[in-house]
Amino acid sequence: AQKVTQTQTSISVMEKTTVTMDCVYETQDSSYFLFWYKQTASGEIVFLIRQDSYKKENATVGHYSLNFQKPKSSIGLIITATQIEDSAVYFCAMRASSGSWQLIFGSGTQLTVMP
């Protein structure tokens, strides 16, 4: 069975600091894809960043980066120089490369960035 777990339900940080959100996953597949999505206060869900399991380099997009620790089945999202508008719910998701195409989501982490 495949599973994605986000144990942090909410995090609060001060503006301009760095925050890390945790995510662990379970899969039997040797090849898989990991994603982070952001849901804003308006409800909009947007794709942020992705890590392919066969890539050793951590993905980076803008002020988002990933901490991919394959032996620990962990994919943390790091946001540097946080801004007020980073306040949102962040979802970790996984897709295994075999079988039917389904994206499995974690339960989300609410990030609040304070001025």
Partner 1 sequence: EAAVTQSPRNKVTVTGGNVTLSCRQTNSHNYMYWYRQDTGHGLRLIHYSYGAGNLQIGDVPDGYKATRTTQEDFFLLLELASPSQTSLYFCASRRLGGHSQNTLYFGAGTRLSVL
- When the beta carbons of 83 and 107 are compared against partner 1, the nearer one is 107
37 binds partner 1 (CB under 8 A): yes
Rounded Cα–Cα distance for residues 84 and 72 (Å): 31
Here's the x/- map for partner 1, 82-101, by CB under 8 A: it reads as ---------x-x-x----xx
User: Which of 105, 111, 112, 115 is close enough to bind partner 1 by CB under 8 A?
Assistant: 105
Can you tell me the distance from the alpha carbon of 97 to that of 99, in angstroms, rounded to the nearest whole number? 7
Size of the site for partner 1 (CB under 8 A): 23
Choosing from 10, 16, 45, 70, the residue that interacts with partner 1 (CB under 8 A) is 45
Residue 111 interacts with partner 1 (CB under 8 A): yes or no = no
- Pick the closest to residue 109 from 37, 46, 53, 26 (CA basis): 37
Of 18 and 30, which CB lies nearer to partner 1 in the complex structure?
Answer: 30
In whole angstroms, how far apart are CA 26 and each of 4, 13, 44?
6, 29, 27
Please report how close the Cβ of residue 115 comes to partner 1 at its closest, in angstroms. 27
SS3 percent helix, strand, coil of the chain, rounded to 5, is 5, 55, 40
